Structure 1
Amino acid sequence: MADADAVTIALHHMETVAIHGFASKSMFVAGICILLYDHILTFPDEVEYIWKQKWSVVSTMFVLNRYITPLVLAVDLYDKGGLPNYIPKSFCVGWYYGESVWNLLCFGFVHAIVALRVRAIWGRPRWLSITLSVLFATYFLTTTVVVYALQIKVVHTVEYNPLYRICLATISPHLWTCWLPALIFETFVFVLTVIKAREHSKANFDTPILRILVRDGVVYFVIICACSVFNMLIWIVAPPSLVALSKYFVLAVVPTMGARLVLNLRGSRREDLMPTTGRSTTDDSRGFEMQAKGGRPGKPLPGERFVFASFRAGETFDDEEQNPSLYERTRLSQINSSRMGTKGDGN
């Protein structure tokens, strides 16, 4: 009787693991579909705003996330999809570490892009540049240390399971803590975005680029926080057999969001920024992403100007002051008209 009960329990456990595995694979495939579908949709924009533009650090991060992530997910699908009849332990261990490296870099790239955007919204003040740099370095290093410290403790359990035909490993009960640094950094960046958005709203200041920066910043925060909390909850309360339910889905969604952040912003340039010479925006752009022009130290901008721009090749701050963009000229005219009206009312 006892043996029969043990067999029943074992069969029930195997059935549960199989169901959880199917759910995880379904989420995995859903994430890949989102990634590839969005890639197809935005490929024309990628050609126009990435490959035809001057190269930049943001372009590099975009391309790495865009093209390495699908390759990583392809190996993951081979590793966790139950496809191979056998996988050497050396491959399981090597990919156990290698996959983590790309996860850290992938999230780091997207967080860096978001930090640059917030820096742009605030006008690139020195104190904020230093603060964001320190916080980003702290988040990235802390996450890296936590992940590898916990992985080293369980790496001896990594091996190929012939029953489920995948590489398996024991999951540390504290692994969920690796999401905390990113969550704190994301919250800080979001608060900065909201503060500046409220300031611009009260000042009735608006440009297409500013709308994109604020809108995407809010959407990004909601999605990335949902992904982080999803992972944390799964790793805290769910059984070990569900640990992959969110992992690969999130790895597909985050780079997709990062690509949209870059393409949406570059696409908005055509609405807000127009060349003031005979040269084209494509030829002149130096590719500095999300750079907000602020006044020199001790020299405030006239008329409370705050303009998002991409500096042209060889252009200085004084050159730009002498050749303002279409939006800048319109905005200054509005400010001057408003001031003249105020003086007229006073008389």
Structure 2
Amino acid sequence: MADSAFSLTVYELQNYKASQYVGVAGLVVLLWDHLLTFNDEVRLIWRARLSIPKLLFLFNRYAVPTSLIALTYATSGLSDDILPDSVCQIWFGIGVVLGMLSIGTSNFLVLLRLWVLWDRRTRLVLSTLILFVLTQLTSIVCTAYVVASMIPSMVFDPDLHACMLTGKVDFAILWSPGVVFELMVFIMTCWNALDQPLPQHAKMARVMYRDGSTYFFVLFGLRVVNLVLSIIAPRSLVFLGVFFIWSACNVTLTRLIMNLRRITDEAEESHIEEFHIDCPQWPVSPGLGSCASESYELQGKGS
């Protein structure tokens, strides 16, 4: 077991309490937003046909709050349960892995939308795909290193009723690959917007630039704060922003993907209406088969 809370300084106790309150606040925001957007999720996501992006979105949507509930329980100090050190080690090890997976899948989902926005221009798609693969491989190595160095230092303090670290862990290398990737993609997006100010998908472009800019500035700023804290903050503040930033990442990604999906649905409904107006209902001649086929492809929903 760790040293008791009485061996900690008042400053350290205040830091631990601040980290606990910020983490709980992030979880509350995440769960509240989940409830607010659940109807949109059913309408826009669940009814869409099965695809890899849909599965990745649902993974982020449900794996993140599930993991955060477990980790918040282990760090909040609200429970009277005395957990063995092994529980803290296992939960935090899994939490770090899930956290990096969620960041990777979030970046990939945004990248898929950007490829559509860029009209799948080969040079941009290949360059961003290579950058994504390289940063993810780097993240895998960094995650394995951090988990291996963190587990021996993770213990449960019976007085604080919380899992805590007894040694310094280099969390900075966890956030660095993601920060580099997001910065590079944002620069490419700005360059493409100047190079091609009126893309083919103009309405989607407006949503992507508006919400995507919010996604970038909010999360990039928070992750930079996380990176700085992991470098300069004392051990008692190492988790100050981790859980809140993870919650903010999930909320912002959900809003971005659902807004884009809403725009896509509106476009599909517009095409379906045009199909009923412009295409004869019967008889359908061979030359008009493409009209029905195109409308069906645009629906993008399962039965």
Q: TM-score, normalised by structure 2?
A: 0.82
Say yes or no: does 1:167 pair with 2:163. yes
State the partner residue of 2:238: 243
Match of 2:116 among 116, 120, 141: 120
For residue 80 of structure 1, what is the aligned residue in structure 2?
A: 75
Show CA shifts across 1:60-79 (max 9, x none).
11111111211111111211
Q: Secondary structure at the match of 1:245?
A: coil
Separation in structure 1 between the aligned mates of residue 39 and residue 150 of structure 2, nearest angstrom: 44
Call closer, same or farther: CA 1:97–1:198 in 2, change over 3 Å.
same
- Deviation at residue 59 of structure 1 after TM alignment: 1.2
CA distance in 2, matches of 1:155, 1:204: 49
Report the CA distance between 1:124 and its aligned residue. Answer: 0.9
Match of 2:275 among 274, 277, 283: 277
SS at match of 1:90: helix
- Residues in 1 aligned to 2:236 and 2:242: alpha-carbon distance in whole angstroms: 12
User: Could you give the per-residue CA deviations for residues 273-325 of structure 1, whole angstroms, max 9, x where no partner exists?
Assistant: 4224349xxxxxxxxxxxxxxxxxxxxxxxxxxxxxxxxxxxxxx947x979x
Task: Give matches, 1:41-60, under 5 Å.
Answer: 41-60=36-55
Q: Which residue of 2 aligns with 1:289?
A: none
4+ long deviations beyond 4 Å: 10-13, 203-206
Alpha-carbon RMSD across the aligned residues, in angstroms, is 2.6
Gap change, CA 1:205 and 1:95, over 3 Å in 2: closer
Contact persistence 1:20–1:242 (CA under 8 A): yes
- Report the equivalent of 2:92: 96
Deviation of 1:12 after TM superposition, in Å, equals 9.1
Residue in 2 aligned with 1:309? none
Secondary structure at the counterpart of residue 244 of structure 1: coil
1:56 Cα deviation after fit: 1.7
Greater C-alpha radius of gyration: 1
Q: Match for residue 293 of structure 1? A: none
**Which whole-Å CA distance do the structure 1 matches of 2:201 and 2:259 have between them?**
17
Determine if the alignment matches structure 1 residue 27 to structure 2 residue 25: no
Q: Distance in 1 between matches of 2:159 and 2:83?
A: 12
Q: Distance in 1 between matches of 2:82 and 2:63?
A: 25
1:135 is aligned to: 131
Spell out, residue by residue over 1:20-76, the C-alpha distance to the aligned partner (whole angstroms, 9 max, x if none).
122112211221122122212222211111112212212111111111211111111
Match runs of 1:223-234 below 5 Å = 223-234=218-229
- Counterpart residue number, 1:38: 33
With over 3 angstroms needed to count, the CA separation of the structure-2 counterparts of 1:198 and 1:79, relative to structure 1, is: same
Shift of 1:183: 0.9
Amino acid of the residue matched to residue 72 of structure 1? S
- Determine the structure 1 residue equivalent to 2:204: 209
The separation in 2 between residues aligned to 1:205 and 1:132, in whole angstroms, is 20
2:251 corresponds to which of 228, 239, 256: 256
TM-fit CA distance, 1:132: 2.1
Asked if 2 retains the 8 angstrom alpha-carbon contact of 1:208 and 1:272, the reply is no
- 1:14 pairs with one of 9, 30, 54: 9
State the match for 1:5 in structure 2.
none
Task: Structure 2: state its 5+ residue gaps.
Answer: 278-288, 296-303
Which is further off, 150-159 or 71-80?
150-159
Give the match's secondary structure for 1:159. Answer: strand
TM-aligned CA deviation for residue 142 of structure 1: 0.8
Alignment identity in percent?
A: 28
Q: How far 1:190 moved relative to its partner?
A: 0.7
- Compute the displacement of 1:87 (Å): 0.9
Give distance in 1, aligned partners of 2:161 and 2:72: 12
The alpha-carbon distance between structure 1 residues 178 and 171, as it changes in their structure 2 partners (threshold 3 A), is farther
Q: Is the alpha carbon distance of 1:170 and 1:138 closer, same or farther for their aligned partners in structure 2, counting shifts above 3 Å?
A: farther
Q: Which moved more, 1:260-269 or 1:36-45?
A: 36-45
Question: What letter corresponds to residue 137 of structure 2 in structure 1?
Answer: L
Matches of 1:204 and 1:150, distance apart in 2: 42
- Give the letter aligned to residue 65 of structure 2: P
Aligned length: 275
Q: TM-score, normalised by structure 1?
A: 0.72
Q: Distance in 2 between matches of 1:265 and 1:49?
A: 10
- 8 A Cα contact 1:200 1:206, kept in partner: no
Q: CA deviation at 1:221?
A: 0.9
Q: CA 1:323–1:114 in structure 2 vs 1: closer, same or farther (change >3 Å)? A: closer
Separation in 1, partners of 2:294, 2:50: 24
Q: Say which is worse superposed, 83-92 or 176-185, in terms of deviation.
A: 83-92
Structure 1: state its 5+ residue gaps: 1-9, 280-317, 325-347
